[in-house]
Amino acid sequence: MDPEQLLDGLDAHQRAAVTSPAHPLAILAGAGSGKTRVLTRRIAHRCLTGDADPRHVLAVTFTRKAAGELDARLRAFGLRDLPAAGTFHGLAYAQLRTAWAADGTAAPTLLDRKGRILGRILGNTRRVTPADLAAEIEWARARMVPPGRYADAVQRAGRATAVDPERIAHWYQRYEDDKRSRGVVDFDDLLERCAERIERDPTIAAAQHWRFRHLFVDEYQDVNPLQERLLRAWLGDRTDLCVVGDPNQAIYGWNGADARFLTRFAEHHPGAEVIELRDSYRSTPQILAVAAAVLARGRRGTPLRAHRQDGPVPVVVGFRSDADEANGVARAVRDNHRPGRPWSAQAVLIRT
């Protein structure tokens, strides 16, 4: 495909994001602003103009589905070779398996669920469930907080816990000891071990830096400190990094994510360019106006401009508790039901 064709149909801000020669680059992409379109076209444009070699591109996504979509779009642009695309965990696991094979050591068993081990550690405790404890451990691991510093980190973060943080720290330490004695690793271990291998072994670092020379990261507002550490290990002392995200869609702070990696990108990467996509092609002016009002207090960036025609004004309702909200949603579904129309004509979208 002619690289100029990739620019067809792009607005001025999208075009600037696709063609910018800047390294590093952060693209602030609000809801409906064409984030995936811009990311895939930037990768393709750099590859088709010879500015990047697709065999040395690493695209980090947050789900395997997103990685598959990225592959499909790039394939449609006619790239002869496809970049490597995957999640932080998937890419780290693949790199570790290669390193373990080179060492001649057996790969440890991957623990994909913590529940059974944590249930045994908790015993007869009823105030904390295995899922609750798993969430606390994952929050701590995401922020690179070991058991010995967990209680202090909770206090500094103002994080509410079901029981005394010292008890959780004790269970957390038992979990780490149990994994070690069984020779198993969890998903957070994959990120930590991969970063450590690159940081400590110059040979592995050189191989990774040769293999992946151009880094792209999607949904960067949801990156946590442990993932950022691994990204820095992949990047090394180079600057060829492009990140895409929207700080107004940062929803994983409870699990250790830190949107400041995106909002302070230019501080963390001196000389970086930041481009903001300012047009929304998904939502009506009324929806964007309500969203802007909801976000007004903590909003970051310029309000999006709508390119859809007018539509109905959304109704925003608040509730005192989750139980009240559930009852309110059920009542709304019942009140909107009409004879001859199936219940499945309505949808309830929930973000947890």
**For 15-61, what is each residue's pLDDT tens digit?**
999 999 999 999 999 999 999 999 999 999 999 999 999 999 999 99
**pLDDT-based confidence at residue 247 (cuts at 50, 70, 90):** very high
Cα–Cα nearest to 242, from 21, 4, 9, 27? 27
Write out the two tokens for 71. Answer: 């592959």
Give the per-residue pLDDT at 251: 87
* Tokens 């969890």 found at: 186
**Residue 274 three-state SS:** strand
Strands 305-306, 109-110: pairing is unpaired
Region 281-296: what's the mean pLDDT? 90
- pLDDT exceeds 90 at position 199: yes
Q: What is the pLDDT of residue 254?
A: 87
| Whole-number pLDDT of residue 302 | 76
Q: Closest Cα to residue 133, out of 177, 165, 89, 180?
A: 165
Altogether, the residues listed in the chain come to a count of 352
The order of strands in the sheet holding 25-29 is 84-87, 57-61, 214-217, 241-245, 25-29, 273-277
Q: Give the per-residue pLDDT at 35.
A: 94
Looking at the chain, the whole-number percentage of residues with pLDDT higher than 90 is 85
- Per-residue pLDDT band for 237 (boundaries 50, 70, 90) equals very high
Confidence of residue 352 (pLDDT cuts 50, 70, 90): low
Q: What is the pLDDT of residue 61?
A: 92
Q: For residue 325, is pLDDT > 70? A: yes
Neighbours of 117 (CB within 10 A): 20
Q: Is the pLDDT of residue 141 over 80?
A: yes
Q: Could you report the per-residue pLDDT of 57-115, keeping only the tens digit for each?
A: 999 998 989 888 888 888 888 888 889 999 999 999 999 999 999 999 999 999 988 99
Of 66-70, 168-172, 243-247, minimum mean pLDDT range: 66-70
Write the pLDDT tens digit of every residue in 216-227.
999 999 999 999
Q: Is 284 helix (H, G, I), strand (E, B) or coil?
A: coil
pLDDT at 200 (0 to 100) = 96
